[in-house]
Amino acid sequence: MPSQAADGKRKPPTAAVNLIAGGSAGMMEALVCHPLDTIKVRMQLSRRARAPGAPRRGFVRTGIEIVQKETPLALYKGLGAVLTGIVPKMAIRFTSFEWYKQLLGDPTTGTVSGRGVFLAGLAAGVTEAVAVVTPMEVIKIRLQAQSHSMADPLDVPKYRNAAHALYTVVREEGFGALYRGVSLTALRQGTNQAVNFTAYSYFKRWLIDWQPECQGTGTLPSWQTTLIGLVSGAMGPLSNAPIDTIKTRLQKAPAQPGVSAWVRITQIAADMFKQEGFHAFYKGITPRIMRVAPGQAVTFTVYEYLRDKLEKSNLAFVGGTFEE
């Protein structure tokens, strides 16, 4: 059985468990869902206004164009930057979420209210955004935005890979360029994780209470974890799509000397509305939901599975059963 506290409740996972389970879950999520993220970014960066009567350029058409013009490997542009940051990102997300939950919980019983879970998720999202996500996404977006054929050796892109993109951005624009859009990224990640963890925790608690056989372990069957991860993962993108679209355009563009981030944000938002209409703020929402929702389903399923296995193990470095 998973390690439990004296009152019978499941103990919070250790930092080592969060590192291994969270990191592995994040890697699996990235490998499975990254092509949809590339399509989402291309749609958000597209500035073409739709001509009257012309068909909408949806995610399927965008994906087909990328594959036809740049080969299927182009769907994995920026994956190196994602994989480099995914382990610390997920470790920070789950570890900080548990830490904030304990901080916000009742000091006597340890019970955390729905409001506490929401605030813990919000704080965890902001923490991961500042620590890892913003620099990772700046590099990822620069790579994904390049429309070059990976099959043509003469079509040389500006950024060859994640390491080269990192070096080039810092050399040409300074270290601060890696944190362009940090406020929007923190707002997006914060709202994402607040909604995500709140919904997931609610559904998980409800299903455990509904099934007496799950109450002793505090765990659900994997298919139920996948289902509630899918549902909770879809809620975040719907709540903050305009933030994500503006952030993507801000991080793709080079800095403008003497122009503050807030001025750039308002300029981008105004130009989008004037030139492309209100729907531009929701460009890429379909592939984003298709990216984030299955991604959260994969993340929670793999995380819960590995957490359970690690806590049942006798490995000292993950805080296994030797502690009981």
pLDDT of residue 154: 56
Distance, in Å, from the CA atom of 97 to the CA atom of 107, rounded to the nearest integer, reads 17
Report whether 195 contacts 121 (CB < 8 A): yes
Distance, in Å, from the CA atom of 89 to the CA atom of 112, rounded to the nearest integer, reads 24
CB atoms under 10 Å from CB of 313, counted, come to 15
| pTM beyond cutoff 0.85 | no
SS3 77: coil
pLDDT of residue 8: 45
pLDDT of residue 311: 84
| Residue 115: partners with Cβ closer than 8 Å, 6 or more residues away | none
- Residue 151: CA count within 13 A, CB half-sphere: 8
**What is the C-alpha end-to-end distance of the chain, expressed in Å?**
11
Domains along the sequence of the chain with CATH: 15-308 (1.50.40.10)
pLDDT of residue 300: 94
Q: Which candidate, 175, 161, 28, 22, places its Cα nearest to that of 89?
A: 22
DSSP-derived letter for residue 159 is -
Report whether 102 contacts 12 (CB < 8 A): yes
pLDDT of residue 93: 92
Q: ∠123-302-216 over CA atoms, to 5°?
A: 85
Q: Please report, in tens digits, the pLDDT of each residue of the chain (324 residues total).
A: 455 544 445 677 787 888 888 889 988 988 888 898 888 888 877 765 555 555 666 778 889 999 998 889 999 988 888 888 888 888 899 989 989 998 998 888 878 899 999 999 999 999 999 999 999 889 988 888 887 655 555 567 788 888 899 999 999 999 999 998 898 889 889 999 999 999 999 999 999 999 988 887 888 999 999 999 999 999 988 888 888 888 888 887 777 777 777 888 888 899 989 988 888 888 878 878 887 899 899 999 999 999 988 888 866 555 443 332
Distance, in Å, from the CA atom of 13 to the CA atom of 30, rounded to the nearest integer, reads 23
Rg of the chain taking only CA atoms, in angstroms = 21
pLDDT of residue 152: 57
pLDDT of residue 85: 83
| Residue 116: partners with Cβ closer than 8 Å, 6 or more residues away | 101, 104, 105
